Amino acid sequence: MSKSKCGVDLLVGVCLTKTDWLAHKKTLVRSFQHIVDAWGGNAFVYVVLQGNKDVKILNADFPDYLHLFETDFMGVSNARNLCLEHAKEISAEFILFHDASIFWPKNSAEFISSNRYTHPKVKVRFSDSVIDCFAEKTELHGKKRKINPIYNTYIGSYLLKVSDVDGIIFNEAFGPGQNTRFKSGEDVLFLFDYLQKIKACHVFEADECYVFHPKRSLSYDKHLTYASGQGKIFRILLAKYPSFLLYRDSILFFGNAVMRCLLGKPNALRILKQRLIGFFDRGINQ
């Protein structure tokens, strides 16, 4: 496994389980390569592998830019905070988060590289077809766009300047993990703090460049898993960043859950209940 390079332009912080690494390694490495190539080779990929110590990851012939860090602790927010720490340790100027099953096409990687000083962001496309991802060819156009983290939640679609996120960490009580109280919301809380820190609500978003993510389940099972965390973040955000738009979004959030109940959607009543439980939970108010 390679040693860290100091003073790189970009650190790609990858957070995943050992099982996911073994299942998606070839596609992940191809995605990494697109990013590294777009940055002219001046990028470093730091993979935080979470899982049982007994699961051995072979020291294969990985590229020099790739470093694996193994931990038995399971928690995406914890893993991302480790990536933030490492970005500072090696004096990386930018950080880009990468999950287990997403894929960066060449054009999307080139978009964030060529627009690195404009707070660039790509869109997220849900697709199960990796072939479509490889074939994607579009122009690298974009526009300045106002961002609401409630609806633009995916942290892996944003390029972040390390100095801009200094003092900001992911709340380790939120997000998928073994000891987390709430299984969602870490991205939204982080992005609200980030936009407040840079004193902006606009990013430069690509018109037709995407990061690809597997399609969501139609059974709303993940909605149920995430429901209490989603409810809780509204309580935190309304206390921390009160605004008319945030009050509006909270009403729409719960109204959507009620509408799903009226339409008989799967798990609708349970989702509404968990959202309310999260919102009225009195613990972890920051």
Split into its structural domains, the chain has a count of 2
Task: Examine the domain organization and report whether 273 and 181 are in the same domain.
Answer: no
* Residue-level pLDDT at 128: 72
227 with 196, same domain: the answer is: no
Chunked into runs of 10 residues, the chain (286 residues) has average pLDDT values of: 68 95 91 97 96 73 88 93 97 96 94 96 84 58 95 96 96 92 96 92 93 78 90 96 96 96 93 96 74
* Residue 3 in domain: no
31: DSSP letter: H
Quote the pLDDT of residue 58. Answer: 66
111 and 230 share a domain? no
In a domain, residue 175? The reply is yes
158 phi/psi in degrees, rounded to 5: -110, 140
On whether both 132 and 48 belong to a single domain, the answer is: yes
Query: Whole-model pTM above 0.85?
Result: yes
H-type alpha helices, 1-145: 18-38, 76-89, 106-114, 130-135
Residue 208, token pair as written in the block: 């037709």
| Domain annotation covers residue 285 | no
Same domain, 110 and 177: yes
Residue 249's domain spans which residues?
221-279
pLDDT at 129: 66
Residues 48 and 166 in one domain: yes
Distance spanning both ends of the chain, measured CA to CA? 37
Residues 232 and 156 grouped into a single domain? no
The Cα–Cα gap between 158 and 163 comes to 15
